Structure 1
Amino acid sequence: MARAVGVKLMQKVSSTKLFAKIAPHFIPAMDKAVHKLTRGKVMLSARMLPGVILTAKGAKTGEPRTTPLACMPEEGGTGWLLIGSNFGRPGHPAWTANLLKNPEAQVSWKGEDIAVRARLLEGEERAAAWRAVLGFWPPYATYQARIEREIRLFRLERR
């Protein structure tokens, strides 16, 4: 019961414009630090939403870029959905451009490094995934309503 109340509260807070303004500056940095200190076993933000640490080649530099991201694990442990919401701010997050150019990447999931291939979802496949994502974390609808761009959804599958 207490967890459900906490989740509802976090959903409400994460839907605000203030959260969208502030969160991108501290959540990723906090997650990277804790993830490194715990050798990949803990991400603080994953206490509310599951998360991965994505490592992908930069679209412009080709250098590895590491980004902590909320994700939606798929049934049977076959993959993950990544949501390019950018906290409901204009502009696609940089990691989405990286995956578009370099779809072979790696995630750290619960302390395990896993090679993945990313695929941008489109059409009915995207629509079905979007419905699932909204059922999983309803604030994504608020993010989409605030911006003109379509939020990118990627499916990561184990390689």
Structure 2
Amino acid sequence: MPSFGASRAPTPPGRQTVHPLVARIGVSRLCLFLAPRLLPVLDLAAHRLTRGRWLPSRLVLPAGLLTTTGHRTGRCHTVPLCAYAFAHGSWLVAATNFGRDHHPAWSTNLLHHPHAVLTWRGRQHQVTALHLSPHQVSAFRPQILTILPFYDDYATRAGHRAIRVFHLRPVVDSR
């Protein structure tokens, strides 16, 4: 198993942790109904209007934008999502889809085309996605729960669907 968490520095206080109120709201019926419909639209609009300087989700979660290649269309698709940032410059992302019964399209796109672009804190990073096995996911459970304290609730709501988790590693320039 790759040891991509080995060089992780401790999480600075308040840096990636989610406020307990946000954790409670994240599983409320109202949030589960409205958030999937409003948050992506709001994040993308604010990001576009501020020329990449602001992402509203960053007020409550460590969030960035992931651009994937559509597995059917070949077109680029950009979605906001929360991620756990490792000190060595890689990220964990979980395809919870708010606990809905289907996988989010971006996770299916990563399975077919693992090369993507992550916009994190205003900088674009070329990344390669590694789909983690259930054993690897359990090894990184503390990091996932740091940014998604409602991960278990979403996993329960997803029912038969196993939530996909990806490790996004920066592409090393070979020139």
Q: TM-score, normalised by structure 1?
A: 0.90
In structure 1, what is the Cα distance between the partners aligned to 2:52 and 2:62? 13
**Partner residue, 1:51:** 63
Q: 1:137-156 residue pairs with structure 2 within 5 A?
A: 137-148=148-159, 149-156=161-168
Deviation at 1:70, TM superposition (A): 1.1
- Give yes or no for the alignment of 1:90 onto 2:101: yes
- What RMSD over aligned residues (CA atoms) do the two structures have, in Å? 1.4
What amino acid is the match of 2:82? A
In structure 2, what is the Cα distance between the partners aligned to 1:68 and 1:147? 20
Greater Cα offset, 96-105 or 123-132: 123-132
Deviation per CA, 1:92-144: give whole Å up to 9, x if none: 11100000000001011111111100110004222112332124431111111
Question: Is the helix fraction higher in 1 or 2?
Answer: 1
Deviation at 1:52, TM superposition (A): 1.2
Q: TM-score, normalised by structure 2?
A: 0.82
Which segments of structure 1 move beyond 4 Å, counting only runs of 4 or more? Answer: none
Unaligned regions of 5+ residues in structure 1, if any? 1-5
Secondary structure in 1 matching 2:73: coil
The count of aligned residue pairs is 153
Deviation at 1:54, TM superposition (A): 0.7
In structure 1, what is the Cα distance between the partners aligned to 2:50 and 2:112? 31
**Partner residue, 2:87:** 75
- Give yes or no for the alignment of 1:127 onto 2:118: no
Deviation per CA, 1:30-70: give whole Å up to 9, x if none: 00011112222211111111111111100111100111111
- Give yes or no for the alignment of 1:24 onto 2:45: no
Which of 113, 120, 127 does residue 109 from structure 1 map onto?
A: 120
8 Å contact from structure 1 (residues 40, 112) kept in 2: no
**Partner residue, 1:3:** none
CA gap 1:123/1:145 in 2 versus in 1, 3 angstroms: closer
8 Å contact from structure 2 (residues 61, 147) kept in 1: no
Unaligned regions of 5+ residues in structure 2, if any? 1-17
8 Å contact from structure 1 (residues 39, 111) kept in 2: no
